[in-house]
Each structure stands twice: as structure tokens, then as C-alpha cells.
Amino acid sequence: MKKKSSYLIFIISIICLLLSIFLFLYREKDASVVGVGDSGGNKEVVEKEDAIYIPGYEALSLVANSTSQSISLNNPTENDCYFVISLYLEDKTLLWKSDYISPGNNSEPLELTQELKEGTYSAILKYSCFSFDQKKSPLNGGEIKLKLIVS
């Protein structure tokens, strides 16, 4: 009986050891991303991917003769920064500006500064990006040239 218990404890110990080795290796693999290599052929290790994901659109649909719109714009969950999104007409007239939008959240529905008549307008959606901390330091940003289809 005693011999049987010892055998069982030994088996459980082996399983625990294998499990901890597996978890350790898995964690190491997850923490680093190997780059495609530099011009000299050496492999480089990038500690984390410092990237900003910017949603782009060819066109946005808006309701004519109304400042209140139903659409909202989002900051993707993959991001590690705040977005402040502004919508301008091509002549730089500001139509809408969001508050700080944290990753994974949407803006409030668009409330335009002016009503637009039916038609198609050239516009710019400006993404200003800020560090996701108290400082809110400015980061690289993006601008999307698009059409506003007002109907």
C-alpha cells in the first residue's frame, strides 16, 4: 500500500514538472516577437509591438439637415493610446470633435457643428493619438480622406 502511494506521488510530481516547463516555455514565446531580421541577416527581437491601429473608411453616411447623427467611431481594443477624433470638411471647417476615447470604446454619437444638405462632400477624419497615461503625451497620428454621403 505504501509502495503504491509513493508511486502515485512520483507520477504526480513528474506531471507537475512537465506542466511547469510547458508553462514557462509558453510564456517566454508569448513575451517576445522575433522580427524579420535586419539587412545583415541577424535576427532582432522586438520586445513589444509599438503600433497604433487606425480604422479607415472610404465614405461615411450622414443624415441631411440634422446635427444629430446616429453613428459613433471607435478606438480599437488593440491600441494602447487615447484617440481624439475630429471630422473636417475639405476646407478645414470643423464638423465634430470627440472627447478622449480609450481603447475598446466608442465615441458619443456624432453631434455636428452644422447641418449638411443632401449631397457628397470631401472630408478628413483626423485621429490624434495620446499616450494612455496621466501625461497624455502626443503620439504619431493619422488622417483619413473620405467622402461624406449626406442623404
Partner 1 sequence: MKKLLTLSLVILCMTLIVPLGLNAEETTFTTTVPSATYTLKVPEDQEIPFGEVSHKITPITATDGSGFAENKNLQVTITYESFKCDDPEVTTEIPYSLRYSSSESGVFPSSIEANSGDSIIFLGKVDGTLEEYASFEATSGSKNPFAEEYRLVIQSADWGKALAGKYSSTMTFTAEVVVDSE
Tell the smallest beta-carbon distance from residue 36 to partner 1 (Å). 6
Tell the smallest beta-carbon distance from residue 82 to partner 1 (Å). 12
Could you say whether residue 56 binds partner 1 (CB under 8 A)?
yes
Give the side-chain half-sphere CA count within 13 A for 22.
6
d(C-alpha 83, C-alpha 102), whole Å: 7
* Torsional sign, CA 90, 94, 96, 97: positive
Of 1, 4, 55, 87, the residue at the interface with partner 1 (CB under 8 A) is 55
DSSP class of residue 74 equals B
Q: In terms of CB distance, is 8 or 44 closer to partner 1?
A: 44
Of 7, 129, 134, 136, the residue at the interface with partner 1 (CB under 8 A) is 129
Of 19, 21, 25, 51, the residue at the interface with partner 1 (CB under 8 A) is 51
- The vertex-29 CA angle with 51 and 48, nearest 5°, equals 20
Residue type, 33: V
Could you say whether residue 46 binds partner 1 (CB under 8 A)?
yes
Could you say whether residue 44 binds partner 1 (CB under 8 A)?
yes
C-alpha cell at 55: 480604422
Could you tell me which residues are beta bridge partners of residue 86? 97, 126
Residues that bind partner 1 (CB under 8 A): 35-39, 44, 46, 49-59, 76, 80-81, 129, 131, 137-147
